Structure 1
Amino acid sequence: MRYTKQLIDCYKHFRSTSLLRHGNLGKYAFVGIGNHSMNNLYPVLALLHVPLKYICCKSADKLPLIERTYPDVHATTSLQEILADEEVKGVFVSTTPQAHFAIAIEVLKSGKALFIEKPPCQNLDELAQLMDLQKEHGAIMEVGLQKRNSPIIRILKKELKKCKGSVCYNLKYLTGAYPEGDALLDLFIHPLDCMAYLFGDAKVKYVESVGNHTLMLILEHHCATGMLELSTGYSWKDTKEQWSINTDSGVYEMNQLDSLTFRHKPPIMMGIPMEKVFPYRKTTASLFERNNFIPLQENNQIVSQGYYDTIKVFVDAVEGKSRCALSSLEHLTHTYSLIENIRELVK
């Protein structure tokens, strides 16, 4: 029993000290302090011990409130003050979507590393401009399409490589009304980007706009075909993101990026479903399930939704620990091409 307790104590010590090992040498700045940033991004920076030197916002009346909440941070309304500070190695940007492109241009010109929330720009032309600037100045850049870094997407990416033949999927992404912006670019970019990431470039085979709040789509990829309902015609109290992916060996079902299951298919011989001939026991495997009971970091939604790993990848790249990015500008070309294709067809 004594050795068991020693082993448990050693494990607990290792687990607690590992949370303190995130040491970062550079200073960082954050442009924007809205609801999304405060709830999803700033908590990750705290977990990773990212040292913020500046917080920038456009409202001067917020500055004393920011400095009271973050005593070690200098609050400013001047982006140029941040870009002129050589101590700042990276800049996080999460403001209104329409402002992202202009801010990204300034940060990239300064040569500083840039983490920018989606969407980084409004169209393919602007995306090309950002890519050219990034190459010209050799800047590190990561876009906050965080779902690519979620545990479920990582599992699905690996699982789908095993599939043979064509794949069919059904996707529902349902929210409440979104009067403050462009739902296609601000909201629907998430599921469209996930499908482009999992299945590659897509062509729109069918699209219908229903009541200016819902898009019904059929997308054709190289080895997959999908039916999508993207809508702001539901309720924010009952939002849904559900996928069903039908493969040769079984069906993957994803719910809210909180759970992923795989349901095996019964065998078919000479076109005859064996489940109609012999008794068949349905088997479902749980590939991922967020544990809501134990309040650990890995069970937090900022991890299951991909925020934690997306920001960690960026910070590690800035600190020279890693260079792998799943949502760099080059990776978004398929996503933006698909969005522009949809726009043209629903005009």
Structure 2
Amino acid sequence: MTSAFSIFPSRRGVVATLGLAALGGLSLFVGVSPLPPGRLLSDPQALQLLVVSRLPRTLAALLAGAGLAIAGLIMQTLARNRFVEPATAGTAQSAELGILLVTLLWPAAALPLKTLIAAGMAMAGTALFLATAHRLPPTQPFLVPLFGIVYGGVIGAAATFAAWQAGLLQFLSIWTSGDFSGVLRGRYELLWLSAAMVAVAWVAADRLTIMALGRDAAIGLGIDPARMMQLGLVIVSVVTALTVVVVGMIPFVGLVVPNLAARLIGDNMRATLGWVAFGGATLVLGCDIAGRLIRFPYEIPVGTVMGVVGGILFLWLLLRRS
């Protein structure tokens, strides 16, 4: 934890860690079924509720938030544009289309196989987006996110049409709106692969930072751009596919968190990586808790809450001076 927060004074790192720990503790005890801490030692059912439902849900929110934030940071580095993320560049929509296709062609497929196919579709969709984005004029940075929105919309429309033809529109809605209410023990463990992808990003952070300087600069500094592009595509695609398969699409995490970190710290990926993961985990977990409390005892999906909060943060980033 010390290395992750070494860019800031140690006191700020300790405060951030304590704040995230407090949110995690609150998440364990907030829900429809009451779970007073004093019952954990005396009531076996309370302990089972904690282990089977509340703890997996909290861990899923932390892993999904950290993974999506890192995926957004890497995508912005590869595209050399601060206004893209997996949910607005066709990555998440391609993963949804992959899950839908495997559901139509092989309904009995296991969850790991669906994840693998979704990751492959997400990788293909992201590669096409990046190949097109690099052809757009660099003097018009807003063309890249506009193209990403249109590109993702086309893929999403194709998935919606296929789902409508097969009578799976309600099934498709599970993946288009992130929701942690169905996360239980045995259904979230694949998200630990997101933590592995974050570790890979940490190892390659310096080389990915150089990629932001452009192809010629990367070659001049001894970096293989093609190989680093492939590595970035794998990280972004796997993290996005895992999140879509397990909990659904959560917007704005990969957009606002890296931009906030860049304003506070800079563009050095190794310096910002820990804070980006921390910010994504905190933001998603906080929105999940808010979704449970706003209409208690009913829940608002975290994707809806994150859409509102992320939109406000994004407008603040656009309107506020550096």
- The interval holding the TM-score normalised by the smaller chain is under 0.3
TM-score w.r.t. the length of structure 1 is 0.25
Question: Which structure has the larger Rg over C-alpha atoms?
Answer: 1
Answer 1 or 2: which has greater helix percent.
Answer: 2
Structure of greater relative contact order (alpha carbons < 8 Å, 6+ residues apart): 2
